[in-house]
Copies of this chain bind each other. A is one copy, B any other.
Amino acid sequence: MAFTYLTNVPLEQAKKDYLRVLAEQGFSARTERIRVQDAFGRITAKAVYAHINAPHYACSAMDGIALFAKDSFGATETTPVTLREGQFTVVDTGDPIPEGCDAVIMVEEIVRNEDGSVTIHAPAAPWQHIRQIGEDVCAGEMILPGLMEITPAAIGAMIAGGVLEVEVLAKPVVGIIPTGDEIVPPCSDPKPGDIMEFNSSIFSAMLSSWGAEARTYPIVPDRYDEIRGMLEKAVSECDLVILNAGSSAGRDDYSATAVREVGEVLYHGIAIKPGKPAILGYQGAVPILGVPGYPVSGIIVIDELLRPLVDLWYRREPDSGSRTRATLTRPVVSGLKYQEYVRVRMGYVGDRLMASPLPRGSGVVSSFMKADGMVEVPQGTEGYNAGEEIRVRLLTGKQRLKNTLVIIGSHDPLLDELADLIHREDRRYFLSSAHVGSMGGIMAVRRGEAHAAGIHLLDTETGEYNRAYIRKYFPHGGVYLIRCVGRQQGLMLQKGNPLGIRSFADIARDGVRYVNRQKGSGTRVLMDYLCKKHGVDPERIYGYEREELTHNSVAVQIAGDSADAGMGIYSTAKLYDLDFLPICVEEYDLLIPEKGWNSRMVRQLISTLKSEEFKTRIEAMGGYMLDRPGEIIDVF
């Protein structure tokens, strides 16, 4: 195990130096000639001049007759003028003006006579209703300057001007080289240890949105010669190259060496997190960017370091995105050493824009999908407190955020179904849910951070659900408790129950691997109540401290044989084909602040809860009891 020590250059400096060095190396756009019909959205490489006039001949602008204007002079309502055959020519719109004619009279303004002559009741002004040569475009005139985006109308103007091909900036071709012994192409049944190669698909989509074109090379195993060989090939074939994975300083990380051998390394190691082990290299005018293997790190490195190169190619101003201020719902702790990127979910609750940090794991690509914004914690800053107003770079439009229903609290898969139903009903509306447990939901509603919270909190004194907690945390009231579902809670067990678990107390037996839910979740409250009730000492449960945030994630540990038992709901056990030991039926309700009760989005939520489709879907999941969902249970 040999270590390469990485630099820790601040991002801005690294970016500036990289762009400067590449400009010096002659990094700039290629151009290409393409058919004008295919040029929509492309950028002209240089000014485009018309080859011909449009129209290229004087033509009639109307259906009617062409004539020599002077022949019509003197015509009035009372002294009409009659033109005999030969003095006029019938013309349609677009027809050439016959020689000797210099005006057109509209068909509606003439009277045809039986002898073939026509009568008019007003004179024609010379040149009226004639489209002169070049009215639209004159040959030799500039249609578009260079470096302009080609619009639909510009396509029309070019063709009208006889320009059938146009020289445009070529889309930069970005080679992507995935590396790693464990990396396999996307498949539906990867083996343990296989890591599916989806980074190139993410990067390709990002690149295409910036006007670049990805060329993904076959996956290269962790063998130095092969990596170097593929890198040389890509550098000779592409305008930019991404070398993916293997850019950290661990075992088998040949990237930096390969880049150094093939070209130059400007920096290896940037003071950002995630993304630190990025390699900023180049060979001649071809940038070579070493990108960490974790998707989130990769996305950030490509956004911060490759996107500016595409902007430089197109000579356009970097799009620094739209920023806004928002209130942080939970603290963000950051190291002093790096600029740290924290993805946040956002939502308007009342007039306040709230930002909730998402999981920060670099492997969690789904967190990027859920992110509405990005908080950049600068280098040298320790982070932010909950409640602090911070600056966020928006990844989602503000209008969408205003139309997003924020539900924070206990996890249930029905929330996803609600999200689907609400958005299907009206594409303007979105539902964003965060799983922080029932207590987290109560707190979120109390702090005005959510439109609703899913809660199922057992009062162990009375056996009643939710009310005692609401009375305690909302002593002044101001909230509605809304009926959602009854659901079957119990122990999820491996298929066929190989360990023969027959009662709750069995989870403390030797050899049983338990997986728990996080503190503050309703299921954890139930779990701890059951331990007390059955006299089970948590210390004796292997895995009691192993916490997962959702029913699903507990279930998959069991289904994947990484655990034997965990508390959860019947629908989840059914989804993962697990055995299930029923324990109780609980009330899963929604807590909604009185203030937002009449908002459009809460109305939409209630009507969806009451819909037939909601009932059908939820009942199909199993283990739910639906009794008038959407009704008010109580007003506090």
Interface residues of A (CB under 8 A from B): 1, 36-37, 40-41, 46-47, 51-59, 61, 63, 92-96, 107, 112, 126-127, 131-148, 151-157, 159-160, 162, 164, 180, 182, 186-190, 192-193, 195-196, 198-199, 201-206, 208-209, 248, 250-252, 293, 295, 299, 315-317, 361, 363-369, 371, 413, 416-417, 419-420, 423-424, 427-428, 431, 545-546, 548, 550, 552-553, 555-557, 559-560, 562, 575-576
- Contact: B56 with A152, CB < 8 Å? no
- Given A140-B552, A145-B420, verify A196-B427 contact (CB < 8 Å): no
B residues less than 8 Å from A317 (CB atoms)? 427-428
- Contact: A198 with B156, CB < 8 Å? yes
Which of B142, B156, B209, B366 is the one whose CB lies under 8 Å from A365? B156
- Contact: A56 with B164, CB < 8 Å? no
- Contact: B251 with A92, CB < 8 Å? yes
- Contact: A556 with B53, CB < 8 Å? yes
B residues less than 8 Å from A127 (CB atoms)? 545-546
- Contact: B36 with A134, CB < 8 Å? no
**Assembled-state Cα–Cα distance A427/B312 (Å):** 11
B residues less than 8 Å from A41 (CB atoms)? 205, 209
Which of B156, B189, B250 is the one whose CB lies under 8 Å from A52? B189
- Contact: A368 with B193, CB < 8 Å? no
- Contact: A95 with B193, CB < 8 Å? yes
- Contact: B147 with A423, CB < 8 Å? yes
- Contact: B153 with A299, CB < 8 Å? yes
Which of B139, B205, B416 is the one whose CB lies under 8 Å from A141? B416
Which of B51, B209, B557, B560 is the one whose CB lies under 8 Å from A56? B560
- Given A40-B208, A366-B160, verify A193-B96 contact (CB < 8 Å): yes
**Assembled-state Cα–Cα distance A147/B61 (Å):** 46
- Contact: B209 with A40, CB < 8 Å? yes
Q: Which of A37, A54, A366, A548: most chain B Cβ within 10 A?
A: A366
B residues less than 8 Å from A560 (CB atoms)? 53, 56-58, 133-134
- Given A156-B198, A159-B196, A416-B141, verify A133-B556 contact (CB < 8 Å): yes
Q: A47-B420, A56-B192, A157-B368 are in contact. List 9 more A-B contacts (CB 8 A).
A: A52-B189, A53-B556, A63-B250, A93-B250, A138-B556, A146-B423, A153-B369, A156-B199, A315-B427
- Given A93-B293, A145-B423, A553-B134, verify A368-B315 contact (CB < 8 Å): no
**Copies of this protein chain in the complex:** 2
Q: Which of A136, A209, A367: most chain B Cβ within 10 A?
A: A136
B residues less than 8 Å from A189 (CB atoms)? 52, 162
- Contact: A132 with B52, CB < 8 Å? no
B residues less than 8 Å from A417 (CB atoms)? 47, 142
B residues less than 8 Å from A135 (CB atoms)? 361, 363-364, 553
- Contact: A126 with B545, CB < 8 Å? yes
B residues less than 8 Å from A423 (CB atoms)? 145-148
A340 to chain B, nearest CB (A): 17
B residues less than 8 Å from A54 (CB atoms)? 196, 366
B residues less than 8 Å from A126 (CB atoms)? 545-546
B residues less than 8 Å from A151 (CB atoms)? 205, 369
What are some 27 contacts across the A-B interface (CB < 8 A)? A37-B186, A40-B205, A47-B417, A52-B189, A56-B190, A56-B192, A61-B361, A63-B250, A63-B251, A126-B545, A126-B546, A127-B546, A135-B363, A136-B364, A136-B365, A140-B576, A142-B416, A143-B366, A145-B419, A146-B420, A146-B423, A147-B423, A147-B424, A152-B203, A152-B299, A153-B202, A160-B365
- Contact: B366 with A137, CB < 8 Å? yes
B residues less than 8 Å from A107 (CB atoms)? 1, 250
B residues less than 8 Å from A555 (CB atoms)? 138
A295 to chain B, nearest CB (A): 5
B residues less than 8 Å from A147 (CB atoms)? 423-424, 427
Which of B152, B190, B209 is the one whose CB lies under 8 Å from A152? B209
Which of B139, B250, B368 is the one whose CB lies under 8 Å from A92? B250
Which of B1, B52, B156 is the one whose CB lies under 8 Å from A368? B156
A179 to chain B, nearest CB (A): 13
Can you name the residue of chain B whose Cβ is closest to the Cβ of A148?
B423
- Contact: A202 with B156, CB < 8 Å? yes
- Contact: A202 with B152, CB < 8 Å? yes
- Given A94-B195, A189-B52, A363-B61, verify A205-B152 contact (CB < 8 Å): yes
A428 to chain B, nearest CB (A): 6
- Contact: A206 with B152, CB < 8 Å? yes
**Assembled-state Cα–Cα distance A513/B160 (Å):** 27
Can you name the residue of chain B whose Cβ is closest to the Cβ of A59?
B193
**Assembled-state Cα–Cα distance A562/B95 (Å):** 15
**Assembled-state Cα–Cα distance A187/B556 (Å):** 64
- Contact: A47 with B416, CB < 8 Å? yes
Can you name the residue of chain B whose Cβ is closest to the Cβ of A203?
B152
